[in-house]
Amino acid sequence: MDLRYTPDEIAFRDDLRKFFRNEIPLSIRRKVSEGRALAREDYVTSQRILHAKGLATPNWPVAWGGQDWTPVQRYIYVEELQAAAVPQPLGFNVNMVGPVIATFGSEAHKQRFLPSTANLDIWWAQGFSEPGAGSDLASLKTTARREGDEFIVNGQKTWTTLGQYADWIFCLVRTDSTVKKQAGISFILIDMKTPGITLRPIITIDGGHEVNEVFFDEVRVPAENLVGELNKGWDYAKFLLSNERIGIARIGMTKERLARVKRLAQDTPAGEGMVWDDPDFRRRLAWSEIELKALEITQMRVVAAQRGRASDKPDPSSSILKIKGSEIQQASTQLLVDVAGPYAMPRPDRDEEGLNLPSVGPDWADAAAPLFFNYRKVSIYGGSNEIQRNIIAKAFLGL
């Protein structure tokens, strides 16, 4: 038992650290660090730099641009990426549709989609949730009926993150309503330019435009866009959702944020001293650090346990990482609001860069409260924390 990295692992880490900090533009990393919205171009620029180095899709099959890394190397990659405030390669492309196509898609799908998906030439959106199908995703109602060489899609998807930038959307659609709800779902790829698709922004409480509703009205989709077998979409969805085990807790990112909270607290005046001098604040910060350290080791244990066994089985650790990871992420954004103090209040207009210059108060402070508001999402999405507790109770405690 040894927490330390081997010399090879340290060399691997240092190479990545240098690359991320030298090659990804500081202007982009600064936005990530401050929790500000990124422009489409920021994602594209960053992902293409990573992809040119083979660092956008390390978890894909090696034949399609993946890396033959150990679990520890994969872990270090995610940690360092987040610690350097590099935008994560677009999850819809890299962690979701890419692996599904690589695993279940036809050869033609792979040739057509995988290279452009890796390079973010195609921007994918996720069409899973519906107004009536959230935690109970399998009750989804968007239908696809077969007519000749096409599927005709009708229905509504929602919470479509960054759908405003999307070129394509991968959707779960109902192709058989006469069977058990999980058994009548298919996984289909739809070009967002197809007639009959309407996208409507949803503005969230932080003022951001991150999510959308997508309406499908008699949308004609070539039958060849079906991935895998008809009515097997639920299996592919489960595969997809279990795919982001490393990184779901965003430990590297929270570490970076807590370090930032510390720096800002040391620099922010509070009466006779600084915010940092307030013992109650320091205690809350210490708790976040302690919980994060425990979670980091929990995550390392998961990584270590993955060596030499298939990783597509559910595992209580992914639910633990989700629950604790989201709680600590939320706590870290709250600490930031507390450091900002009165200057958490101003909500000035932003320029097109998303920056507020000249600033009202400290130049970071106006982003604090929106980030805190925005981060309420992390205990809701990806299977709410209550759903995670259901999973733990049923699958691991046998209740």
Partner 1 sequence: MDFDLTDEQRMLSDSIRRLVSDAYDDFEKRKAYRAEPRGYAESNWQKFAEMGLLGLPFSEDDGGFGGGPVETMLVCEQFGRGLVVEPYLATVVLGGGLLKRAGNAAQRAELIPAIAEGTLTLAFAHQERQARHDLHDVATTATRNADGYVLNGAKGVVLHGDSADRLIVSARTAGGRRDRDGISLFLLDPATAGVTRRGYATQDGLRAAEVVLENVTVPADALLGAEGAALPLIEQVVDEAQAAICAEALGAMEVLRDLTVDYLKQRTQFGQAIGNFQALQHRAADMLVATEQARSMAMYAAMMVQEADPTARRTALSAAKALVAKNADLLGKDAIQLHGGIAVTEEYKAGHYFKRLTMLAGLFGDVDHHLRVVVAAGGLPEAA
Per rule CB under 8 A, is residue 11 in the interface with partner 1? Answer: no
Query: Quick one: residue 354, left, alpha or beta (phi over 0 = left, psi -120 to 50 = alpha)?
Result: left
Q: Is 239 helix (H, G, I), strand (E, B) or coil?
A: helix
List 79, 244, 289, 296, catalytic entry: 244
- Residues within window 322-341 making contact with partner 1, judged by CB under 8 A: 323-324
- Single residue of 26, 62, 286, 360 touching partner 1 by CB under 8 A: 286
Stretch that binds partner 1, among 144-152, 235-243, 295-303, 360-368 (CB under 8 A): 295-303
Please identify which residue in the block is written with the tokens 């997809």: 240
Per rule CB under 8 A, is residue 393 in the interface with partner 1? Answer: yes
- Residues within window 67-86 making contact with partner 1, judged by CB under 8 A: 72
Per rule CB under 8 A, is residue 200 in the interface with partner 1? Answer: no
- Residues within window 246-285 making contact with partner 1, judged by CB under 8 A: 262, 279, 282-283, 285
- Single residue of 8, 293, 312, 347 touching partner 1 by CB under 8 A: 293
CB closer to partner 1, 59 vs 388: 388
Long-range contacts of 313-316 (CB under 8 A, 24+ apart): 313/242, 314/242, 314/391, 314/395, 315/245, 316/391, 316/392, 316/395, 316/396
Q: Is 295 helix (H, G, I), strand (E, B) or coil?
A: helix
Per rule CB under 8 A, is residue 63 in the interface with partner 1? Answer: no
CB closer to partner 1, 296 vs 338: 296
Min. distance of Cβ 386 from partner 1 in angstroms? 7
Tokens of 343: 């200057």
Q: Within a 10 A sphere around the Cβ of 195, how many other Cβ atoms?
A: 8
Question: Distance between CA 125 and CA 90 in Å, rounded?
Answer: 10
Tokens of 332: 């870290």
Question: Distance between CA 226 and CA 261 in Å, rounded?
Answer: 47
Longest dimension (CA), the chain: 76
Tokens of 199: 């996208």
Per rule CB under 8 A, is residue 2 in the interface with partner 1? Answer: yes
Question: Distance between CA 310 and CA 331 in Å, rounded?
Answer: 33
Rounded to 10 degrees, the C-alpha dihedral 117/120/122/125 comes to: 90
- Single residue of 91, 134, 196, 316 touching partner 1 by CB under 8 A: 316
By CB under 8 A, the count of residues binding partner 1 is 46
Q: Within a 10 A sphere around the Cβ of 278, how many other Cβ atoms?
A: 16
Min. distance of Cβ 1 from partner 1 in angstroms? 5
Q: Let me know if 244 is a catalytic residue.
A: yes
Per rule CB under 8 A, is residue 398 in the interface with partner 1? Answer: yes
Residues that are catalytic: 244
Residues at the contact surface with partner 1, assessed by CB under 8 A: 1-6, 9, 72, 262, 279, 282-283, 285-287, 289-291, 293-298, 300-301, 303-305, 316-317, 319-320, 323-324, 386, 388-390, 392-394, 396-399
